[in-house]
């Protein structure tokens, strides 16, 4: 049986290794990254490619903090009265 080795490139998230939903196989690694960066929830920042997963590691890799950390807590809605002399 004859076989042939084929080398291809598939972009993956630099944080978790997840592949884009349409993980087409490309001859050129730069094309693989470019195509993944065009996916709606994928982000390319410099040499970093990050999928759309929302957790603190991915959010930090995208250059921001986790949205969960930005949600107000009950303490944010507390009113403290102080006595005026």
From the list 23, 12, 22, 19, the residue with the least C-alpha distance to 48 is 12
Give the 3-state secondary structure of residue 50: strand
Per-residue pLDDT at 78: 58
Contact 26, 37 (CB under 8 A): no
> What average pLDDT values come out for the chain (85 residues) when binned by 10 residues?
86 92 86 89 89 89 65 57 70
- pTM for the full predicted model: 0.66
Q: Count of CB atoms within 10 A of residue 14's CB? A: 15
From the list 72, 73, 45, 47, the residue with the least C-alpha distance to 60 is 45
Structure tokens at 16: 């978790």
What span, in angstroms and rounded, lies between the C-alpha atoms of 16 and 28? 22
Give me the residue spans of the domains in the chain. 1-74
């Amino acid at each position: 049986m004859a076989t042939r080795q084929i080398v291809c490139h598939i972009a993956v998230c630099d944080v978790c290794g997840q592949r884009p939903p349409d993980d087409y196989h490309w001859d050129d690694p730069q094309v693989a990254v470019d195509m993944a960066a065009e996916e709606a929830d994928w982000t390319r920042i410099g040499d970093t490619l990050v999928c759309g997963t929302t957790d603190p590691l991915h959010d930090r890799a995208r250059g921001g903090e986790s949205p969960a950390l930005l949600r107000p807590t009950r303490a944010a809605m507390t009113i403290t009265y102080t006595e005026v002399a």
